[in-house]
Amino acid sequence: MKLFVGLGNPGAKYAGNRHNIGFMAVDRIAADHGFPPFRAKFQGLVSEGRLGTERVALLKPETFMNLSGQSVGEAMRFYKIEPADVVVFHDELDLAPAKMRLKTGGGHAGHNGLRSLHAHIGDSYRRVRLGIGHPGHKDRVAPYVLSDFAKADQDWLDDLMRGLSDGAVALAEGDEARFMNAVALRTAPPRSSTGAAKVKPEEAPVPDASKAPEAPKSALQRLLDRFG
């Protein structure tokens, strides 16, 4: 059993906040992979299903961000799993928007959700750090993370969510390289060897028949052209 945890704050007021990108990630995985509706459990909302060969529980703590560890600890005790079986999706100020990094262990860097997790389950869980960018000054961090994503963010945000969902099976099965590649294919599509973006087949230019080279003329046709 694996436990995928999305960090965020409960309620419609916070649903579109940058701080709730973790909730958005597990919601997208649940929707794309046929998980049943979330139900109340473990001081949060949980849905159980399969990702490839692995049984996975998706958890969204309803305790508010700074008490997330209570919900996660309760779920871990119920499923009898270790921190190594836990994957936490959370917002990351120190990464540019649309960037994603995997990490196991380390500090919480002032993130209240991670601080709570450290207190309840230690630091040896895996983390999917989802870049939201930094507002530029520490005094602006709180209002920034508790504000909704801008309309200009929607394209990259959707690409990132698609990538996380595409790679969810690989992540559950422990293939981190394949997971990261799946995200990269959505957020940074491959380019040709010349550096130019690859052209989709439906976007390829259609040859102009009027500009096609003429077929060579026969000897008889050349004589007719000359004396006709």
Question: Which residues are catalytically annotated?
Answer: 19
CA 73/CA 44 separation, integer angstroms: 11
Beta strands in 67-199 (DSSP E): 86-92, 100-104, 126-131
Nearest Cα to Cα of residue 4 among 14, 19, 33: 33
* Token pair listed for 151: 């309309």
Coil, helix or strand for 49? Answer: strand
Q: Are 68 and 116 in contact (CB under 8 A)?
A: yes
> What strands lie across the sheet with 2-6, from one edge to the other?
39-41, 44-51, 54-61, 2-6, 86-92, 126-131, 100-104
| H or E element, residue 39 | strand 39-41
